Structure 1
């Protein structure tokens, strides 16, 4: 049993490491909870107080704008104390191990650790070394998983297109290096999306067995035909080997989403992107800022989804 599997008894989830082994019922429960929190927050803009007296630590070993800020806001809107751990000025710079850092913070009665790290498996590793009752949330590990992004993408789609079985969804871009792609695929397959396509240059695709249930289409125009949702992905140059993409201009010519290409999809197709955006590399500004774009809505929804996750894991 993995760390995010449902336990044998009807207790809450202890950690959120991946969406791979969550059931449709568990995912829908989190989405429903996020919807209720969204409604309540937008109605009165007051902290919900569910995590009053709890402490949430953001342990980010990689740079982040959207994920770190939204976890910070989510915890505060639930009434928790938030510690944004300063890696550069911590004892890790003196050689303290990650596990010793975890146990030190646990000794201060911290209740949850939100972890982002460049190495695959770091969040799961820490979850296995928690000594007390604290929870670990994976905020992105290498190219492995980004479960709350997968949840917020599913949440955003559901608010516009609630019938997952009727949808055609396309994920396009740097699939090979994308933890978002993996978590989106896990979420959407579990929720029963009717047709799931992925599109990328051959050298930016993982092995086919890493894309279960997906149709792989290398030609972007063909992949766009008749889709209801497009999720564009960033070129992750920091994870690439040299020359995996000849040039940004050449990539945009073949895989950039512009107004002409968007017209190949359904007229009401949703355009999504987890950010940060490289404009005129994977997506045109006119599309990113256009009427069909849900990109900023994804950012907004991320706060409510992360509120739901923290409340669920901490039993609030």
Structure 2
């Protein structure tokens, strides 16, 4: 079994990951965290794009489960000598890992690698494709805060066109029964989604999830002046006032303060779930690794 997309998971598996994630979340708050569930297994993290949250949380998750973790140094690998992704996958497979986590700038790359591997492959983000474990940890964070996801009005706002996080969240949160409202600049909305005004999306929302403007993936510059994006499309205190009084703020990170969100809102201890998302990421990724390697430790 691989975890390449939200569609890779059945409803029962989603429920199991969220339940187990909640259990590991409490476990991780204990003084000592030395589970041996994956004792003797080896997990490879192969990240072809930069990462802080996803890379480190997968490494911490695997180690807390007792696995050996190898972080592939892509910048020092034979990729830099011209080796293809497929040949790299064959090489890694010959080393007999028990799980591989891959992030790659090309959409579909994890699937290409999975077809050549004898172990479970987890998509840690592929181009503008998907980021399934981010959606799972976001759903777990929402459930931790509200007790449920079904029926919540959730606004996802920003650069939806280039956001693999948004693609996975749209799939998962709709499956879980959320009422989604999607908004962003017209040029940063996918062709199959109508542009929506952010003020309309935030109005009455119980969760507001902001997305980073991924300028590195754009073929044309937005041409916005300093502060213009925040004023027109970002989350400000005045805009958040349109949401429900108990509305929570989310962001997958990294944050561009003063662009998609005001810094004070990102740090608001009563409203912001951004740091909780990071903490939940370790727990949910522990649940994912445990599920995918279950046959290897049986």
> Does the alignment reach a TM-score above 0.5?
yes
Deviations 1:128-174 (A, max 9, x none): 111x3x11000000011000000000000011123323210000000
* C-alpha deviation, 1:244, in angstroms: 2.9
**Change in 2 beyond 3 A, CA 1:288/1:138:** same
In the alignment, which of 157, 171, 179 is matched to residue 164 of structure 2? 179
Contact 1:41 1:47 in 2 (8 A): no
Deviations 1:72-98 (A, max 9, x none): 100100011111100111112222222
2:82 aligns with 95
* C-alpha deviation, 1:124, in angstroms: 0.7
Work out the CA distance in 1 between the residues paired with 2:9 and 2:147. Answer: 19
- The count of aligned residue pairs is 294
In the alignment, which of 189, 197, 209 is matched to residue 181 of structure 2? 197
2:66 corresponds to 1:79: yes
Contact 2:157 2:182 in 1 (8 A): yes
Contact 1:217 1:223 in 2 (8 A): no
2:8 corresponds to 1:16: no
2:122 aligns with 137
Contact 1:249 1:281 in 2 (8 A): yes
* C-alpha deviation, 1:198, in angstroms: 0.4
2:243 corresponds to 1:265: yes
Work out the CA distance in 1 between the residues paired with 2:293 and 2:41. Answer: 9
Contact 1:23 1:190 in 2 (8 A): no
* C-alpha deviation, 1:24, in angstroms: 2.6
1:314 aligns with 293
**Change in 2 beyond 3 A, CA 1:124/1:245:** farther
* C-alpha deviation, 1:22, in angstroms: 2.8
2:23 corresponds to 1:36: yes
Contact 2:93 2:116 in 1 (8 A): no
Gaps of 5+ in 2: none
Question: After the TM superposition, which of the residue ranges 20-29 and 82-91 deviates more from structure 2?
Answer: 20-29
Work out the CA distance in 2 between the residues paired with 1:50 and 1:254. Answer: 49
- For the aligned residue pairs, the C-alpha RMSD in angstroms reads 1.4
In the alignment, which of 133, 141, 146 is matched to residue 131 of structure 2? 146
Work out the CA distance in 2 between the residues paired with 1:53 and 1:46. Answer: 17
Work out the CA distance in 2 between the residues paired with 1:239 and 1:53. Answer: 39
TM-score, with length taken from structure 2: 0.95
Question: Once superposed, which parts of structure 1, at least 4 consecutive aligned residues long, lie more than 3 Å away?
Answer: none
2:260 aligns with 282
Work out the CA distance in 2 between the residues paired with 1:68 and 1:301. Answer: 14
In the alignment, which of 71, 86, 93 is matched to residue 106 of structure 1? 93
Question: After the TM superposition, which of the residue ranges 275-284 and 96-105 deviates more from structure 2?
Answer: 96-105
1:188 aligns with 173
* C-alpha deviation, 1:43, in angstroms: 3.0
**Change in 2 beyond 3 A, CA 1:83/1:207:** same
1:295 aligns with 274
Deviations 1:50-75 (A, max 9, x none): 11111111110000011001001001
1:255 aligns with 233
2:225 corresponds to 1:240: no
Deviations 1:190-235 (A, max 9, x none): 1111x21000011100022xx5xxxx55222222110000000000
**Change in 2 beyond 3 A, CA 1:296/1:245:** farther
Question: After the TM superposition, which of the residue ranges 264-273 and 218-227 deviates more from structure 2?
Answer: 218-227
Work out the CA distance in 1 between the residues paired with 2:84 and 2:149. Answer: 44
1:119-138 equivalence runs, <5 A: 119-130=106-117, 132=118, 134-138=119-123
1:3 aligns with none
Gaps of 5+ in 1: 1-13
Contact 2:79 2:88 in 1 (8 A): yes
